[in-house]
Amino acid sequence: MTQHDTPQHSPQRTSQHAGGLVGGKIALVTGAGSGIGEASARLFAAEGAAVAVADIHGDAAERVAALITDNGGNARAFTADVTDEAQVESLVTAVVEAFGRLDIAHNNAGISGAPSAFTDLSLADWQRLIDTNLTSVFLCMKHELAVMVEQGAGAIVNSSSGAGVVAAPGLPHYTAAKHGVLGLTKCAAHEYARRGIRVNAVLPGTTRTPMIEGFIGGNPDIEKMVTRGIGRGTLGEPDEIAQAAVWLCSDRASFVNGESMLVDGATVCR
């Protein structure tokens, strides 16, 4: 794990953000180099938090941190592979050393799996996705919670998916991982509720991320096919998911703990 500093914002501009939903908090966002993670990092900053922008791709983390600081926020970039416990531990330690504490974490890093019939899915493909989408959430929470317990407070939001509550056909590994994220979320919420820590999850619907854009490839027919199954008929935007994540980590959600919040434009409607 390596750390990259970006210039700090000026004291004069800090006050512009101090009164936001998470003003004065320290937030860590993983998978923050693009898509939902980038939107989350930028919104946490806009709502007053100092943000640790973490991604496996250091240049992507640097770009997002620079965008935040250029807009008057406070951010530093960190490079870490969240499937590696040593790197996760070093990441959390570095964030606390850089900012003094850790109040908020959005565990968002993840990948999509290639569709496969259940009996054709290789163990290697299964393990890679489980490591990235589920084990990484466990590792991040393990080390984030240790810090938050010492502080006596904290808020965590984990990124699951609609596939966390219903099946994603052809994606047994993705479905299992996203269901597992909800299990980890509920278990941690219950265990640490009396320690001043809240743990929730957001379940994004199909969202306009680089992954989805790459699949659509600018083809309106493919976009129509993708959006046909979305309740409102249009793709979600990364900022719409980020709005839910930031709210869940704010004091306005003080009695919300162990929640699995669908943010999918009325697609699942469980």
Residues classed as catalytic: 174
Give 76's strand partners.
5, 52
Sequence-ordered strand ranges (E) for the chain? 2-5, 26-29, 50-55, 74-79, 104-107, 154-159, 197-204, 260-263
Tokens of 58: 């250091």
User: What's the rounded Cα separation, in Å, for the pair 161 and 154?
Assistant: 23
Contact 40, 106 (CB under 8 A): yes
CA distance 198 to 195: 9
Radius of gyration in angstroms for the set of CA atoms belonging to the chain, rounded to a whole number: 18
**Helix, strand counts (H, E) of the chain:** 10, 8
Closest C-alpha to 207, from 246, 159, 256 = 159
As given in the structure block, the two tokens for residue 245 are 């994540």
Q: What are phi and psi of 71, to 5 degrees?
A: -95, 10
Q: Give CA–CA dist 96/183, Å, rounded.
A: 27
- Give the type of residue at 219: N
* CB 169 within 8 Å of CB 126: no
CA dist., res. 43 & res. 29, Å (int): 11
